[in-house]
Structure 1
Amino acid sequence: MSNLSTTYYAHAIELSNAEAFESRLKALLTEEIQSLSDLEAWIQREVEFKLQVGEVMSGQMIDFYRDTMSEEKKQIHMHDQTVIQPLLLKYGSELDKKLCQSPYAAQLDTKKYGLMLKVRSTDLELFREENIPLQVREQELVARYNEIIGGLTITWNGEEKPYPYVQAQIGDPDRATREKAWRATREALKSVRSELNDMMNELVHLRHQIAVNAGFKNYAEYSFRAHNREYTIADCQEFYAAVEKHVVPVWDRLADQFKAELNVDVYRPWDTSPCTLKGAPFEAVDDLVDGVERMLRATDPFFGDKFVHMRENGLLDLESRKGKAPGGFCDFLSYSKNTFVFANFSPSWFALIALIHEMGHAVNGYLQVRDEYEWTHMRAEVAELYSHGMELLCLDKLNEFYPNEHEFRNAQREEIHRALNMLMGPLSGDMFQHWMYANPDHTPEERDAAYRDITQRFAGHPVDSTGLEDEVGIGWLDSIHFFAYPFYNIEYSISELGALQLLETYRKDPRQAIEDFKRGASADSNQTIAELYAATGVSFDFSDQSVGRTAKFVEELIESLA
């Protein structure tokens, strides 16, 4: 695995020499600015420098995620996190001050620089030097989490298999097999439970202290401010109530359909996976890639072209292997104007959907490319609209992998099942995190109980977990978001609501929906979230009325696939 290609990103700057790197930051900081044109030229140089740094740090992080067993790659990544990142935090605050307090800042064109000024003003407001070592420790714990989960294996049918391989067997059409796989993954999590609990305890207290140092009551309030959220915690709470009121009943009716399809009287935790499909839709990664290329090209030629570009330039790593970090993501390599898709999923329906999802991010990234290097801020509520949207635009092309008509309808229904789950699962994950950070001194036992109880109100509502309370309660342990990306959850639910609106348009007029997708994905990110959603032909609205309307559309769609 040590020979995995590292040529997919631009090594435009050297980070191994911290002293030389710091001198570059000092030079930017001491540069004289005596006019508006001087300020704009300085911004351009600073942006290009930060894009170079960001690309190398992203690339070296991906290198480590691709091979967490490599001590060399781990050390390079940890150098970035423990040496370079503290310098970026320290000097970043001074650079933010230089920009925001410049007498020429008020003369900048707000259409071009407005969001930059807003975000950097917030960063300046929240910066506390005493938080730097806490943030460094936070990243050390995140790296350790990836090592633990990336190295997790399970003995399956007499062979040692990576955790994701056995996880994929939970989608097996044979009920005994998927129950065996579900229980095996929970036993694997129990084997690392103690260490992961200690890590989460430390992360919660670290993050709470970061928030208190910055003048906030708790980390939830700090996080909302840091993300420059265009909605409030109270808005999220109203969203929880609307989803519980309108979406959970639709979810329960869909569960009844699946129970009938599976011919089971009791819906157990291992019955909620896409097990109505007869086995994995592909065996080899090349088969997955070939089929997804055809799906994307059939949706829009631009989508297919970009996928081929990524495939030919080493910008995809999709195979599952021991030592590879868990999950999947798309990373923007802004300096070289490329995107990289990472995934660690064994052959399964989910692996197919995850790749399409990440390609939604990738296409969004390519559509954001401008002629000159510019500062960008990809807000998660917007970015996830295009990943979820891509999944649903490809809904009618799943017959590429499921040519049998009955299987095709089941695959479409499984994707709608996933869409509803992405409305509820991340939302309940958001509730769980609000509980965690509002009660930073909670015990691991209380944490598991809170997770179990919240899950039972949403995705677990129609599921009988009798006798499995402990196993259900530890379900949060293999979610990287809780460890590495705190409060990156509600965005999935908000954006899924928009994506379902896009699907509603697509079912009436496919060409219009694809044009809306491309127009919104290429729109200037300086606009508000509401404006970007409007450019995509959907509403940034998660009120009771909006959720109810979307739930009704989904219910009708489910009935059409019965």
Structure 2
Amino acid sequence: MASSMEQNNWSFNKSDHHPPVVRRIIELQNAETCLDSRQNGNCPSLSLGQLSFIIKKGKAISIYNELLILFDIYLKQDMSSSCRQKDYMTAAHVYGNALRTLSLELKTSLKNELSTVSHPSLGPEWTDYVTATLAPRRKASIELVEVKKYEMQLQKLYFSLISSIASNSELSLSTNCKASPRTQRKEIWLNENRAWEEKEVQFDILFDSIIRSRKMIAAHCGAEDYSEFVNRRQKADILTDSFANNVITPCRAILHKVHSQRKTKLGVKRLRPYDLTTRNIRGFTELDEWTKKTRTLIGCIHPSLPALFNSILDEGLHDLQLRKGKSAESCCHQLPHSKKAFVFLSLIGGRRDIMAGIHELGHAIHINLSFRKFHRFFNYKVNPATSEFFALTLELLSLEHLGIYYPDNASSSWAVKKHLEGILNVFLTCETVSTFEKAIYSTFLTASERKILFTETLSRNLGQTDYQGYEKHLGLWSYRIPLLVSAPGYFANYAHTQLAALFFYDSIRKGIFSIEDYLRLMEEKGNASPTETYREIGFVTDGKNISNILESLAERLLRP
């Protein structure tokens, strides 16, 4: 069996020098000759022989899954490259077909040898996998498959579009400019918003197509609308009236107090949108500096963590620098065959860069620790929702050590407050996004009507910020929330996860749990559900718990 390396004319074949991602792709492509399941077609139906045969198929599946992930990373490294786009589409076709064939063969083998492969001695994780694989599933129609493919292409187009706008930069005021700092802030803010305004028609058309495709998906799956379809898959509708009363209302009151403080500090009567970010203090200027400071920070959290960080760097499992054409996403991929994490960032030195780096490292640490414990299973996959909880917790644990990046206490205190203010806005944005999503997926709205709706919804959660004269920019903010595109319906779950992380962080600060407990849970709760993890730490969303969490958040935010 010829490998896909030989069968397809990949653009990177023309070069002798390859970056780490391409080297990994080539290594896996060269391993394909070992994956031909027909070589094992006459495998004897003996316990060990058949099980070995099945595991070999499973490992082949993990290799093809990893190839798809690596080609996705490869495309994100330069979204503007037509060669990479062609390679990505070829990979999606070649490896997608291989995965479908192998998955069907594996399922047939599991069915035929059920008594052998479900033996309790093989462990609960394997038994759970067999049960899940053989569970009856509704077969998707050809039309549904095509619509889903189209919807994924639209998502790619969205991230390509925002990567052409978002520079990932933060406020940078000139010390030599004669204009006042507030005037400079205003001009910077207006320029940023003009960049999005220039793409407004493209976003209008793109969102029309995304919404239309999602309504088609919901109809094919027998759901009343797409929001109902999403809630059914997530098995929960987090944004209940109780959640709104216990979380949204208190957060609005806290934000009002935060804005009162800011108005007093700035000496202004009207708090304008360009007054929300008044400075940007760089935490690093070079990648080597980020590496050194980040290694020191995670070492302060626990001495075992720098070794995990070093392994990611040493094995080339990262792409960290901002480049033209690179996707604006920050993410961490789990590589199912290598059983490792790949960190994808675009670092330039701002506060948000620092926190994004810590967040994605939280995912990477969780993935690597989980695979250390469950390395025997080709089917193992870390639950992304549970991993989000651990990543958000690492952000909070890092706050007392942010001084490592900054020149003085005032700067690090500013960075901590800005992060906590961001958490406060997560809860308020949750209400905005959830309300907006339910409306756009249940009724027909034109692009103009969508922007009016988003403006009205968002206006409830702006605190004392005065957008008079800039209302148009509020409507365009719906295009600047990637989760609306990449993870519809997830924002409410994200807010719930943020609450859980705050609860766990407060519990660690109070000595109820330790950092060792945090790392133990990371290792043990890999593919566990968030509910199972929350049960272990005692987190429940009752009024008292939420009140305590928000009081602690407010106390830190409102310190002089």
Aligned-pair CA distance for 1:504: 0.8
Matching of residue 411 in structure 1 with residue 415 in structure 2: yes
- Aligned with residue 354 of structure 2, among 344, 347, 352: 352
Which position in structure 1 is the counterpart of 2:265? Answer: 261
Q: Is residue 242–residue 547 contact of structure 1 (8 Å, CA) maintained in 2?
A: yes
- The amino acid across from 2:140 in the alignment is F
Describe the SS at the equivalent of 1:355.
Answer: helix
- Aligned with residue 399 of structure 1, among 403, 422, 426: 403
Q: Is residue 297–residue 305 contact of structure 1 (8 Å, CA) maintained in 2?
A: no
Deviations 1:470-520 (A, max 9, x none): 11111121333222332332232111111111221232239x431222122
Matching of residue 80 in structure 1 with residue 91 in structure 2: yes
- The amino acid across from 1:529 in the alignment is P
- The amino acid across from 1:132 in the alignment is V
Describe the SS at the equivalent of 2:456.
Answer: helix
- Aligned with residue 177 of structure 1, among 174, 180, 184: 184
Describe the SS at the equivalent of 1:344.
Answer: strand
Taking the aligned partners of 2:486 and 2:246, their CA distance within structure 1 comes to 28
Q: Is residue 113–residue 526 contact of structure 1 (8 Å, CA) maintained in 2?
A: no
Q: Is residue 60–residue 77 contact of structure 1 (8 Å, CA) maintained in 2?
A: yes
Describe the SS at the equivalent of 1:279.
Answer: coil
TM-score (norm 1): 0.84
Taking the aligned partners of 1:381 and 1:102, their CA distance within structure 2 comes to 33
Deviations 1:35-76 (A, max 9, x none): 887775565334322221121111111111111122221111
Which position in structure 2 is the counterpart of 1:6? Answer: 21
Taking the aligned partners of 1:320 and 1:372, their CA distance within structure 2 comes to 36
Q: Is residue 382–residue 527 contact of structure 2 (8 Å, CA) maintained in 1?
A: no
Taking the aligned partners of 2:152 and 2:436, their CA distance within structure 1 comes to 21
Which position in structure 2 is the counterpart of 1:138? Answer: 151
1:209-358 mapped onto 2 (5 Å cutoff):
209-226=216-233, 229=234, 231-233=235-237, 236=240, 238-273=242-277, 275=278, 277=279, 279-358=281-360
Taking the aligned partners of 2:404 and 2:551, their CA distance within structure 1 comes to 28
Q: Is residue 204–residue 436 contact of structure 1 (8 Å, CA) maintained in 2?
A: yes
Bigger mean CA deviation after superposition, 169-178 or 542-551? 169-178
Matching of residue 501 in structure 1 with residue 503 in structure 2: yes
- The amino acid across from 1:6 in the alignment is V
Q: 1:169 to 1:191 in 2, by over 3 A?
A: same
Unaligned runs of 5+ in 2: 1-11, 176-180
Matching of residue 125 in structure 1 with residue 132 in structure 2: no
Which position in structure 2 is the counterpart of 1:443? Answer: 446
Aligned-pair CA distance for 1:352: 0.8
Describe the SS at the equivalent of 1:461.
Answer: coil
Q: Is residue 172–residue 280 contact of structure 2 (8 Å, CA) maintained in 1?
A: no
Which position in structure 2 is the counterpart of 1:155? Answer: none
Bigger mean CA deviation after superposition, 308-317 or 496-505? 308-317
Which position in structure 1 is the counterpart of 2:5? Answer: none
Which position in structure 2 is the counterpart of 1:156? Answer: none
- The amino acid across from 1:272 in the alignment is L
Which position in structure 2 is the counterpart of 1:200? Answer: 207
Taking the aligned partners of 1:280 and 1:421, their CA distance within structure 2 comes to 23
Taking the aligned partners of 1:256 and 1:455, their CA distance within structure 2 comes to 19
Which position in structure 1 is the counterpart of 2:55? Answer: 44
Describe the SS at the equivalent of 2:210.
Answer: helix
Q: 1:373 to 1:130 in 2, by over 3 A?
A: same
Describe the SS at the equivalent of 1:331.
Answer: strand
- The amino acid across from 1:546 in the alignment is N
Identity %: 19
- The amino acid across from 2:394 in the alignment is M
Q: 1:264 to 1:339 in 2, by over 3 A?
A: farther
Q: Is residue 218–residue 438 contact of structure 1 (8 Å, CA) maintained in 2?
A: yes
- Aligned with residue 436 of structure 2, among 421, 432, 436: 432
Describe the SS at the equivalent of 2:479.
Answer: helix
Q: 1:436 to 1:99 in 2, by over 3 A?
A: farther
Q: Is residue 169–residue 178 contact of structure 1 (8 Å, CA) maintained in 2?
A: yes
Higher Cα Rg, which structure: 2
Taking the aligned partners of 1:272 and 1:24, their CA distance within structure 2 comes to 58
Describe the SS at the equivalent of 2:514.
Answer: helix
- The amino acid across from 1:412 in the alignment is V
Taking the aligned partners of 2:37 and 2:219, their CA distance within structure 1 comes to 29
Taking the aligned partners of 1:33 and 1:310, their CA distance within structure 2 comes to 41
Which position in structure 1 is the counterpart of 2:555? Answer: 556
Which position in structure 2 is the counterpart of 1:477? Answer: 479
Taking the aligned partners of 1:16 and 1:312, their CA distance within structure 2 comes to 22
Which position in structure 1 is the counterpart of 2:193? Answer: 186
Aligned-pair CA distance for 1:394: 0.7
Taking the aligned partners of 2:488 and 2:551, their CA distance within structure 1 comes to 31
Taking the aligned partners of 2:110 and 2:460, their CA distance within structure 1 comes to 47
Which position in structure 2 is the counterpart of 1:547? Answer: 546
Taking the aligned partners of 2:262 and 2:127, their CA distance within structure 1 comes to 49
Bigger mean CA deviation after superposition, 316-325 or 77-86? 77-86
- The amino acid across from 1:550 in the alignment is I
Unaligned runs of 5+ in 1: 153-162
Q: Is residue 54–residue 106 contact of structure 2 (8 Å, CA) maintained in 1?
A: no
Which position in structure 2 is the counterpart of 1:516? Answer: 517
Describe the SS at the equivalent of 2:358.
Answer: helix
- The amino acid across from 1:386 in the alignment is F
Bigger mean CA deviation after superposition, 303-312 or 86-95? 86-95
Describe the SS at the equivalent of 1:340.
Answer: strand
Matching of residue 385 in structure 1 with residue 389 in structure 2: yes
Aligned-pair CA distance for 1:89: 5.8
Aligned-pair CA distance for 1:8: 6.4
- The amino acid across from 1:390 in the alignment is L
Taking the aligned partners of 1:378 and 1:354, their CA distance within structure 2 comes to 20
Q: 1:411 to 1:220 in 2, by over 3 A?
A: same
Which position in structure 2 is the counterpart of 1:168? Answer: 170
- The amino acid across from 1:143 in the alignment is K
Matching of residue 53 in structure 1 with residue 52 in structure 2: no
Aligned-pair CA distance for 1:391: 0.6
Q: What is the RMSD of the two structures over their aligned residues, measured on CA atoms?
A: 3.5
Aligned-pair CA distance for 1:247: 2.1
Aligned-pair CA distance for 1:172: 8.9
- The amino acid across from 1:253 in the alignment is K
Bigger mean CA deviation after superposition, 233-242 or 89-98? 89-98
Which position in structure 1 is the counterpart of 2:80? Answer: 69
Aligned-pair CA distance for 1:190: 1.8
Q: 1:107 to 1:386 in 2, by over 3 A?
A: same
Describe the SS at the equivalent of 1:74.
Answer: helix
Taking the aligned partners of 1:171 and 1:431, their CA distance within structure 2 comes to 36
Q: 1:479 to 1:115 in 2, by over 3 A?
A: farther
Q: Is residue 15–residue 84 contact of structure 1 (8 Å, CA) maintained in 2?
A: no
- The amino acid across from 1:523 in the alignment is E
Taking the aligned partners of 1:424 and 1:38, their CA distance within structure 2 comes to 56
